[in-house]
Amino acid sequence: MRYWTWWLIFRIFAACNKDKDEDRAYIENDEYEFVTDENGSRVYNEDGEFLVYATDEDGKHVTKENGEKETLGQPFQPIDDKGTYEHYGYKITLPEGWKSTNKTGIFENKEKEQQFEITVVNKIYDDYYTFNKDTYKTLEGQEGIKLTWKDDVKLSDECKGTVRFTMEKDDAIVVMYFFENSGNTYKLLFSSKDKGTAVEDSLAISKAISYKPYQYYPELEQ
């Protein structure tokens, strides 16, 4: 079975959303005049939107009566900030050898023939856990497929209930982590042709992520 065919099969098992073609996956960090704090970090409003300085039709700053610059919320767009990729709910600083792709949240290491994807799943964590555990039980024992399931994996204090689910077949291995953070169910999907280092490499890039306290799907309730 070809490597990318196996990757596609696992994505189907994991109930991944279909990727959408994007002309431009990331904007540059100087696309807008962002409001920053004393440390130079971008400032957000309570909805997780960037705060930017308002300008008029001539590009001049709009000011208040006291002379302060007006600000407004800029709907979030993924940003490439010199190798740190910022999304609505997380940031990732890529380890050496990793590059972004033309799909937001998908990264690759061409030299090692590895790929990594971050997805926020539109499911309650408990439901997603049950779905994947049922998938594991369905596939367990099938000829030619090697599976492992591990609960309580340590990624970070922010990641609650982390599970590692691995699948091996032919010349490839796929490692999936899923967990809950800030009300979101995250899925991290890693593929590699090197089975010997796959878990170690998947942990290295998974731990390069930091998370922000914004919820993608606030309508989801337990």
3-class state of residue 130 by DSSP: helix
Burial-class residue 66 by CB neighbours within 10 Å (0-12, 13-18, 19+): exposed
Q: For residues 157 and 31, which has the higher predicted lDDT (pLDDT)? A: 157
Strand partners, 177: 164, 188
Provide the 8-state DSSP code for 193: S
Judged against a pLDDT cut of 60, whether residue 85 lies above it is answered with yes
Q: What are the tens digits of pLDDT across the range 160-199?
A: 999 999 999 888 899 999 999 999 999 999 999 998 999 9
Q: Which amino acid is at 189?
A: L
Q: Which amino acid is at 68?
A: E
Model pLDDT, residue 88: 86
Q: What are the tens digits of pLDDT across the range 93-133?
A: 999 999 999 888 999 999 999 999 999 999 999 999 999 99
Q: What does each C-alpha distance from 64 to 47, 61, 191, 194 come to in angstroms?
A: 23, 10, 52, 59
